[in-house]
Amino acid sequence: MVRKTKQLRQLLNSQYLEFLMEAHNGLSAKIVEEAGFKGIWASGLSISSAMGVRDNNEASWTQVLEVLEFMCDATSIPILLDGDTGYGNFNNVRRLVKKLEQRGIAGVCIEDKVFPKTNSFINGATQPLADIGEFCGKIKAAKDAQSDEDFVVIARIEAFIAGWGLPEALKRAEAYHQAGADGIIIHSSLRVSDEILAFKQEWGDRCPVVIIPTKYYTTPTQVFRDYQFSIVIWANQICRAAITAMQQAAKTILTEESLLNIEEEIIPVSEVFRLQGALELQEAEKRYLPQNKKDITALLLAASRGVEFGELTADKPKCMLELKGEPLLSQVVNHYRTIGIKDITVVRGYKKEAINLPNLNYVDNDNYDCTGELMSLYLGLQGISLEKQDLIIGYGDVLFKKYILQLLLDTEQDFAIVVDADAKASLNSVRPDYVNCSLPNSQKAFYTDVYLQKIDNQLLLPQICGIWTGLLKVSSNLQDVFRHTLKGLLVEDDVQQQGRMPTLINELINLGYAVQVIYITGNWLDVDEIQDIIRAGGF
Q: Which of 363, 309, 364, 299 is nearest to 333 (CA)?
A: 299
Output phi, psi for 368, to 5 deg. Answer: -55, -30
Furthest CA-CA distance within the chain: 97
CA distance 422 to 465: 9
Could you tell me if residue 518 is left (phi over 0), alpha (psi between -120 and 50 degrees) or otherwise beta?
beta
The amino acid at residue 393 is: I
Number of other CB atoms surrounding residue 510 within 10 Å: 10
Output phi, psi for 371, to 5 deg. Answer: -130, 175
Q: Pick the catalytic residue from 55, 150, 397, 526.
A: 55
CA distance 362 to 356: 9
CA distance 58 to 47: 11
80 touches 107 (CB < 8 A): yes
CA distance 161 to 448: 66
Q: Apex CA 297: angle with CA 292 and CA 300, to 5°?
A: 170
CA distance 391 to 186: 61
Peptide bond into 116 cis (omega under 30): yes
Element containing residue 228 per DSSP (H, E): none
Could you tell me if residue 59 is left (phi over 0), alpha (psi between -120 and 50 degrees) or otherwise beta?
beta
Is 73 catalytic? The answer is: no
Burial of residue 478 (number of CB atoms within 10 Å: 0-12, 13-18, 19+):
middle
430: three-class secondary structure by DSSP: coil
DSSP 336-401: HHHTT--EEEEEEBTBGGG---TT-EEEE-TTTTT--HHHHHHHHHHTS--TTEEEEEEETTEEE-
CA distance 487 to 479: 12
445: three-class secondary structure by DSSP: helix
Catalytic residues: 55
